Amino acid sequence: MTELVTRNYWWSGVMKEIERYIDRCNACQRYKNQSKVPVGKLMSNTIPEKSWSHIAADFITKLPLAQGYDAILVVYNRFSKMVHFIATTEKTQKGLQSCFEIIYRSYMDFQKALYQIMECSL
């Protein structure tokens, strides 16, 4: 649109005025070309067959220091909807290992849990 106007007219600040007009123009905003690729069909998640066969994990970080911990590891069981909140530290890598040793003692094979964590690409 700027090219059409500046082809025949010019004054000081013409580009800013055209940009302002386009930003405020209701029709320009509604009929603007979409530069995004159309979204495909949604795919449903697989349904877990047993407890702790599918898990999700995430960290809550940047927390104030409490009893030597400054982060929380959240582990979610997709089958039973059970959630574990495990206090850990942000700086130590051994924190993750000790967190999953707790889960191992409670529910499942440690190696399988670690493999699933790597698939989740934390």
- Domain residue limits, the chain: 55-120
- What digits encode the pLDDT tens for the residues 82-107? 898 888 887 765 566 666 667 666 66
Helix (H) or strand (E) holding 86: strand 83-88
Q: What is the DSSP letter of 2?
A: H
- Is pTM beyond 0.75? Reply is no
pLDDT tens-digit map of 76-85: 888 888 898 8
Residues 6+ apart with CB under 8 A from 113: 52, 55, 100, 103, 104
Could you tell me what percent of the chain has a pLDDT over 70? 73
Q: What are phi and psi of 76, to 5 degrees?
A: -120, 125
Band (pLDDT 50/70/90 cuts) for residue 5 is confident
